[in-house]
Structure 1
Amino acid sequence: MQTVRHSEHTLRTALISKNPALVSQYEKLDAGEKRLMDEAFRPDSDLFGPITLHSQSDWITSHPEAPQDFEEFFNDPYRKTPSPQEHSIYIQCIGLLGNTRSISEEYVKWLKGYCEAFFYGLTVKLLEPVPVSATRCSFRINDNTQNLQIHAGVGIFSFARYGSDFYSSHYEGKLKKLQKKSSSDYSVFDNYYVPEVTSVLLLRSCKTLTHEIGHIFGLRHCQWLACLMQGSNHLEEADQRPLDLCPICLRKLQSAIGFHLKDRYKALVRWVDAESTDTPTVSPERSREDPLSLPKPVEAFKEWREWITKCLAVLQK
């Protein structure tokens, strides 16, 4: 196990910059926001800590990348910045999740609500789900695992990888017979296995969804502190990274969108607390014409909610 630890000077420069204009921009943050951001420099901070590498297969070790500080992010001419005309994030579901369309729609609504809180101030819109065939993406059957894999583009991830047994030999989604399919024959996806909706699945989905959209906004993989924007090579590494951003990446996102930190954190708390208990469930037998709300499984978010509460306490001192 190895710890990636930077000096206070290095972190301060990465966050604030040496550019007088960007330093002045930082100084205009309110006292609470600067207090929270400055936690990045405290070696004993219980909010933001160094990156821990657990093996040589971890992302930073196997994918050397130049780190991106705030100044480099700010000066990137290709990054996406919302405007009054373009301020929406679109979520397109490919296929269904769960045993019925009702369950799938409810799950994607949870992701929509989370995304709206995470990227506070932007509108998130859901597009109608489409079958895999509508994407016209090529696909393959993995020779080693017999799992289906779609060759897709930017900002796409699979729910299947976040089921509890995806990497096990007992995974129900393995194709029982190896079969060769042409790139235009999508029948192999018909009635394909989908993982059970669990709190861990939702947590992993929220992590990956916001990580990938963060890239769309121009945030590169983080190498400063433990952060959602760290790269990950495998599920164990993805589970170890936090659910939210370090101060350096948080300043990048705040600069792009323009939210107040307190408003954003409160919105995230509301998402965890909203409709998470005492709501009826959807049974697999119920049809789309008779939908009921599925209780949002937020047990896995408990520790993260407590962390946000600590951040709010620092902001509101």
Structure 2
Amino acid sequence: MQIVRHSEQTLKTVLISKNPALVAQYEKLDAGERRLMNEAFLPNSDLFGPITLHSKSDWINSHPEAPQDFEEFFNDPYRKTPSAEKHSIYIQCIGSLGNTRSVSEEYVKWLKGYCEAFFYGLTVKLLEPVPVSATKCSFRINDDTQNLQIHAGQILKFLKKRKPEDAFCVVGITMIDLYPRDSWNFVFGQASLTDGAGAVD
């Protein structure tokens, strides 16, 4: 087991920017918002707490990625931001999310509320749920788990076609396993930044 913990100095190095555009945005924050931002540097903060890696197969160990500071993220040409025309997050339920309809509805209600809080200022809307068959996606039975799995990339194509005009993004949620290609065992989710679509299970 390994614990990844970043020092206050490391966090300040990657999070603080002298970019005039970012400085101007920070200066518009009220006292409470600035206090929340400053909590990121505290050792016991929930914002960037320690990460426990339980084995070599954990994502961070098995999928090394180049580091990225906030300014690099901000300047990423593929990063999209909401606009007056594209300001809604749409949630598309695919298949049943629980044993009963009431469980599914409660789950979606919780998810909608979470998205509204986390992505403050954006409108969160629900698309009419669809059965898995409506996606016309490829599927398979996993050899190891014997679970039904649907092709994540084809789900993205399905979501792109259903994406409303005012959508900043559309997110498909399902309780069915996903796989991105035949050689993969499974994937937790897949997204397209350029299409503003994502699928999670």
Structure-2-length-normalised TM-score: 0.69
CA distance in 2, matches of 1:80, 1:122: 14
Matched to 1:37, the amino acid is M
Do 1:16 and 1:26's aligned partners in 2 also have CA atoms closer than 8 Å? no
Do 2:94 and 2:173's aligned partners in 1 also have CA atoms closer than 8 Å? no
Secondary structure at the counterpart of residue 36 of structure 2: helix
Matched to 2:36, the amino acid is L
Do 1:156 and 1:212's aligned partners in 2 also have CA atoms closer than 8 Å? no
**Given the alignment of the two structures, is residue 89 of structure 1 paired with residue 105 of structure 2, yes or no?**
no
Partner of 1:118: 118
Distance 1:152 1:40, change over 3 A: same
Q: What's the offset of the Cα at 1:157?
A: 4.5
The alignment's C-alpha RMSD in Å is: 2.8
CA distance in 2, matches of 1:99, 1:2: 37
Structure 1 residues without counterparts, runs of 5 or longer: 162-207, 218-317
Matched to 1:125, the amino acid is K
Partner of 1:285: none
Structure-to-structure mapping, 1:219-230, within 5 angstroms: none
Larger strand percent: 2
CA distance in 2, matches of 1:212, 1:112: 20
Matched to 1:47, the amino acid is D
Q: What's the offset of the Cα at 1:112?
A: 1.8
% identical equivalent positions: 78
Structure-to-structure mapping, 1:39-58, within 5 angstroms: 39-43=39-43, 45-48=44-47, 49-58=49-58
Of 145, 159, 162 in structure 1, the residue corresponding to residue 175 of structure 2 is: 159
Secondary structure at the counterpart of residue 127 of structure 2: strand
Greater relative contact order (Cα 8 A, min sep 6): structure 1 or 2?
1
**Larger Rg over CA atoms:** 1
Do 1:3 and 1:52's aligned partners in 2 also have CA atoms closer than 8 Å? yes
Do 1:16 and 1:23's aligned partners in 2 also have CA atoms closer than 8 Å? no
Distance 1:8 1:102, change over 3 A: closer
Structure-to-structure mapping, 1:97-136, within 5 angstroms: 97-136=97-136
**Given the alignment of the two structures, is residue 34 of structure 1 paired with residue 50 of structure 2, yes or no?**
no
Q: What's the offset of the Cα at 1:22?
A: 2.7
Structure-1-length-normalised TM-score: 0.46
CA distance in 2, matches of 1:7, 1:100: 46
Q: What's the offset of the Cα at 1:95?
A: 1.6
Structure 2 residues without counterparts, runs of 5 or longer: 157-170, 178-187, 195-201
Partner of 1:16: 16
Partner of 1:2: 2
Partner of 2:159: none
Do 2:152 and 2:190's aligned partners in 1 also have CA atoms closer than 8 Å? no
CA distance in 2, matches of 1:126, 1:100: 18
Do 2:150 and 2:176's aligned partners in 1 also have CA atoms closer than 8 Å? no
Structure-to-structure mapping, 1:1-317, within 5 angstroms: 1-43=1-43, 45-48=44-47, 49-153=49-153, 154=156, 155-160=171-176
Q: What's the offset of the Cα at 1:47?
A: 3.3
